Each structure stands twice: as structure tokens, then as C-alpha cells.
Amino acid sequence: MLTYFRMSCTVIKCNATTVDDLGALEVSVSNEIKKLVRIIKSMLGSMGDGELGISAYDTAWVALIKNIDGSDINAPQFPSCLKWIADNQLPHGSWGDDKVFLAHDRLINTLACIVALKSWDAHLD
């Protein structure tokens, strides 16, 4: 509802909001939220159980953890990470997603893996 006030030669236009307008706005926002929730649920539902990909970057960081068992503190706590890194180097020598090439992704994955391998002098061949 628009209300006009005339003061001297100036016209002031203001939007008057009623309780009914606020209620309609709340219903509209609520319906929009429900619609978005349905869309997101549908998208997530079509993904099956989902999958969390193995990250060379994260694996390299875990590979840097020193052994805390007391037996040999100059050994990795998780040597299987170093094996995974060695086994999953891409044919051209880098690490990262083998299906999608993103230079930034390949660079940080490769650097992290090299640091992990060099830190333990492992698989340097």
C-alpha cells in the first residue's frame, strides 16, 4: 500500500507495510526455503552414498607424522601413506586427480608428495 504526503511543494512517497504484508512475506520466504531444501535433497539423493576421494595432498601430510610408538621415532607413524604415494604417482610424474587436470591441484599435490617422500628418504627412485 502506497501512501503519499504532500508537504509544501515536496511529495514524500512511503511504503506502508501492514501486518498482512509481513505475514505474506514470511510465507513466501518459508516456501522458498522449503523449495531449496527439496532441490538440495534431490541433488544429494542422486549421488548414492557419495564418495570421498583420496587426496594425495592429505595423504602426504599424514605421511609426515613421526612414529609415536617409541620404537623408532625416525620412522613414519603411517608408512602405508608413503607406499600409497609411491603407488599412485601418475605416469608423467605428478600426483593429483587423473581425470581432471587443474594446474594448481597438480602442483600442490605433487609438492606435498615430494616433501613427504624426501622427508623420509623413501621411494626416491
The amino acid at 20: D
- What would the mean pLDDT of 113-121 be, rounded to a whole number? 96
Longest dimension (CA), the chain: 91
Distance CA 60, CA 83 (A): 11
Confidence at residue 31, expressed as pLDDT on a 0 to 100 scale: 82
Confidence at residue 36, expressed as pLDDT on a 0 to 100 scale: 85
Q: What is the pTM of this model?
A: 0.58
pLDDT in tens, 39-55: 888 877 766 665 556 79
